[in-house]
Structure 1
Amino acid sequence: MISVKEALHHILQQCHTLSPIRIPLEAAGNFIAAETIYSPVAVPFFDNSAMDGYAIRYEDIKNNLPLKLHYQIEAGKTRVPELQKGEAARIFTGAPIPLGADTVVQQENCSVEKGILKLIQPVSPGDHIRKRGTQTQKGDLVISRGRLLTPEYIGFLATLGIDSVAVFPKPKVGIISTGKELVPAGTILQNGQIYESNSIALKALLHQLEIPVIFSQWIDDKESELYQFVLENHKKVDLLLFTGGISVGDYDFVKPVLEKTGAIEFFYKVRQKPGKPLFFGKKGTTLFFALPGNPSAVVSCFHVYVKPAIQRITGCQFQTEDYALLVTSYQKKSGLTHFVKALVQNGKATILDRQLSYQMDAYARANAFVVLDEKQEDFKMGEKVKVIFFRSNMTITL
């Protein structure tokens, strides 16, 4: 067996970003930028009005000249007049500033009588004009390679006239569930049967990351059937996730099947709880994660190992580690790293009950795992511990 740190190191060494693809900007939300982008234009592209009102020459106000209304300029107009001495122009928000004008008076602060503009409130030179390039200059750095393209970034890029962007594609994932005892939800359980939940949980976790699931297949505990399916389908995906069948029972065929396919084994079994029987390997460009069969172990192994692999493949920058202070003391045996379900709020971690690897109900209250080091047995109240968040922005009452 290897440590959690060693297992994660092996996984990340084998994970490489996929070759960038160019996609329409409107489809690029939540992808990672595969290129550094500089602004092709200045924004605003021209001096324009920030208000509905009147464009004037401030010099005319200083000289107390009557302002004769001569023009009307709407947003979208491409040709603008040049204001002469004593002239004003009706202008609307976003419309280009006429040549010679240097100030906009908002319509609430003036009136028009017999074609003459009269000011009700004092104005200052440059009022209510958005100057060219005051948001972005042509050639400014807009987004760096490796940045998550949020909806806000998408909107920003659209204002620059950018219609496509190079991104790191999402990996394709397949799921194989094994176990003769599994039956689908909606059927009536017979003695000895359990509902198949692992593939449902994995699909939900992958959907949350916007990762496409190419196939999800249940296979009976038959070695030949499992071998044939893996051989025929592993090339369709970048990651193939197995649940169950990876321990050492007479009907645990996943490891022998993967060996039979010629997959390279990087590790089998990790010093952790839950999820000790964890396999990681590779055949060609396909990564194999053989997860335990217990539902809680599947979820924890996904967050600790599969999710970081997906982040590396999609070009995500890893966040800094999170820590919290224990609200209560906790004891365990040395030798295994424990991932315990916890509620972490305001920098404090409450370890929940119901921690066994088949128990899923604690996830209804938990938002993180507390990571308890394999060598340590006693954890005291107020002690700083590492946490892995799997859910955020939660308000929960215990």
Structure 2
Amino acid sequence: MITYEEALEIVKAKIRLLGTEKTEMMKSLNRVLRQDVFSDMNMPPFDKSAMDGYTCRREDIANELEVVETIQAGYLPKFEIGKNQCAKIMTGAAIPKGADCVIIVEEVDELSGNRIKYRKEKTSVNICYKAEDVVVGQKLLEAGTRITEKEIASLALTGCVEPIVSIKPRVGIITTGDEIVEPENIPIESQIRNTNAYQLLAQCENFGCETKYYGIVKDTKVEIAASIVKAKQECDLILLTGGVSMGEYDLVPAILKKTGFELLFEKVAVQPGKPTVFGKCENTFVFGMPGNPVSSFIVFEFFVKEFLAGLMGLKSYSKTLPLEMGFDFRRKRNERLARIPVKINADGKLDAIEYHGSAHISAFAFADGIISIPIGVSEIKKGTIVSVRQI
């Protein structure tokens, strides 16, 4: 049995970067950008009004001003502003030559003869200056960034309508177990519904993968081997749940070896997830996970995400916060690294949630994060600052 840190280094060492492709901007959402994106223009591209009002020379604001034109957004000014002149201007419209401020419309009296008078003695500039936000050639997005709605805005700003993104990893999901039935079925007394597959499908798709579900496979060597061989031909990564422990029907590690996989580790000192398997066969990799659903959730979060991020060139994918324990934590055995779900309360402290162990996946619906309890640590006292991985 190896430590989590040792296992993670083995996983990282086997990562191979997938290829790239161009995609339409609106189809790039949740994909991983594989190019740096630079601005092709200044933003704003010209001095523009930050308010609806009148643009003039600051030195003239105490005087009556002649309105020489109205400037709408999207139109160029026709006149240069001279002494005691102004132009009515809309938010976002270009500032004409000669003007150096905008007085807001709410503080102006309209007089006869196409003239106005500012009621106050001073004004803010109320101008957004050319290139104050972005300079032409400035890097706005870096390769390795997950494209969210925020990045879509920057792509649109730069005219990058066909960004280069990572090819989606192809992930195959196999569930093993004679006791497993699909969610639409009502289990008999000896059965349970299949949560692992749908949880993993959701995790993979949310992470930007292309998924294929191979169904529930019975605990027989022939059926398990056939599913593994088929998935190996079609996928970059196989996620297989169940059949990896020490029971009579835990057949997966031996079958993986027979189907050509080299197993790089088979046990990790973590709780839950001790009998986690990681292997390789040519360009296909596999994670064999325990059948308990919390175990598969945790293995995906702490191992599979790292591997998938590497395949796609994703530089950052998890958020951790230093937060204060709002409760005392104790455990009897401390020989493994433990992962515990927690909730963040209104005061920004951590609360315990009702959690019974690796089969209690419904508890995670109430969790905001996961804390890690290191090997050798049996107790964490209330008030201690710990690192929380958000989920």
TM range (shorter): 0.7 to 0.9
Determine helix, strand or coil for the equivalent of 1:307: helix
Matched position secondary structure for 1:127: coil
| Pair 1:271 & 2:269 matched | yes
Q: Per-residue deviation at 1:83? A: 3.7
SS in 2 for 1:310: helix
- Say whether the 8 Å CA contact 1:351–1:370 is kept in structure 2: no
**In structure 2, C-alpha distance between the alignment counterparts of 1:223 and 1:257, rounded to whole Å:** 7
Tell me what 2:34 maps to.
Answer: 34
5+ residue gaps in structure 2?
Answer: none
Shift of 1:55: 2.8
Whole-angstrom distance in 1 between the partners of 2:279 and 2:30 = 28
> What's the offset of the Cα at 1:95?
1.6
Opposite residue 317 of structure 1, the aligned amino acid is S
CA contact (8 A) 2:320 2:390 kept: no
Instruction: Please give the alpha-carbon distance, in whole angstroms, between the structure 1 residues aligned to 2:305 and 2:344.
Output: 20
Offset at residue 96 of structure 1 (A):
1.6
Q: What is the rounded CA distance, in whole Å, between the counterparts of 1:149 and 1:109 in structure 2?
A: 43
Q: How does 1:349-368 map to 2 (within 5 A)?
A: 349-350=350-351, 352=353, 354-368=355-369
| Partner Cα distance (1:352, 1:91) in 2 | 57
316-325 or 2-11: which moved more? 316-325
Work out the CA distance in 1 between the residues paired with 2:384 and 2:123.
Answer: 58
Match of 2:119 in 1: 121
* Two-structure CA RMSD over aligned residues (Å): 3.0
Q: Which of the numbers 182, 196, 202 marks the counterpart of 1:184? A: 182
Taking structure 1 as reference, are residues 97 and 337 closer, same or farther at Cα in structure 2, changes over 3 Å only? Answer: closer
Indicate the residue corresponding to 2:259 in structure 1. Answer: 261
Tell me which amino acid in the other structure corresponds to 2:104: Q
Residue 152 to residue 342, structure 1, CA distance change in 2 (3 Å): closer
Alignment of 1:305-344 (within 5 A): 305-314=303-312, 315-317=314-316, 324-325=324-325, 327-343=327-343
**Counterparts of 2:337 and 2:66 in 1: how far apart (Å)?**
81
Please give the alpha-carbon distance, in whole angstroms, between the structure 2 residues aligned to 1:73 and 1:54.
9
* Cα 1:286/1:101, change in 2 over 3 Å: same
Paired residues, number: 388
Of 102, 105, 130, the residue aligned with 1:107 is: 105
Task: Give deviations 1:16-40, integer Å, cap 9, x for gaps.
Answer: 4423333333333344432333321
Equivalent positions of 1:61-76 (< 5 A) are 67-76=65-74
**CA distance in 2 between partners of 1:274 and 1:123 (Å):** 70
Number of the residue aligned with 1:220: 218
Question: What do residues 66-88 of structure 1 show as CA deviations (whole Å, max 9, x unaligned)?
Answer: 64333222211146333455543
1:282 aligns with 2:280: yes
Deviations 1:161-197 (A, max 9, x none): 3334333344222100111221122323334222222
Which AA in structure 2 matches 1:138?
Answer: V
Whether the aligned pair in 2 keeps the contact of 1:102 and 1:126 (CA below 8 Å) is no
So what's the TM-score if we normalise by structure 2?
A: 0.86
Q: Is the 8 A contact 1:341 1:355 kept in 2?
A: no
Report if the CA contact (8 A) 1:368-1:387 is conserved: no
Equivalent residue in structure 2 for 1:134, among 128, 132, 135: 132
1:163 — aligned with what? 161
Letter in 2 for 1:240: I
Which residue of structure 2 lines up, in the alignment, with residue 396 of structure 1?
Answer: none
CA distance 1:105–1:340, shift in 2 (3 Å): closer
Confirm or deny: 8 A CA contact 2:66 2:116 kept in the other structure: no
2:12–2:310 CA contact under 8 A, matched in 1: yes
1:221 and 1:164, CA in 2 relative to 1: closer, same or farther beyond 3 A? same
Structure 2 vs 1, CA of residues 30 and 36 (structure 1 numbering), >3 Å: closer, same or farther? same
Question: Partners in 2 of 1:61 and 1:361 — Cα distance?
Answer: 66
Q: TM-score, normalised by structure 1?
A: 0.85
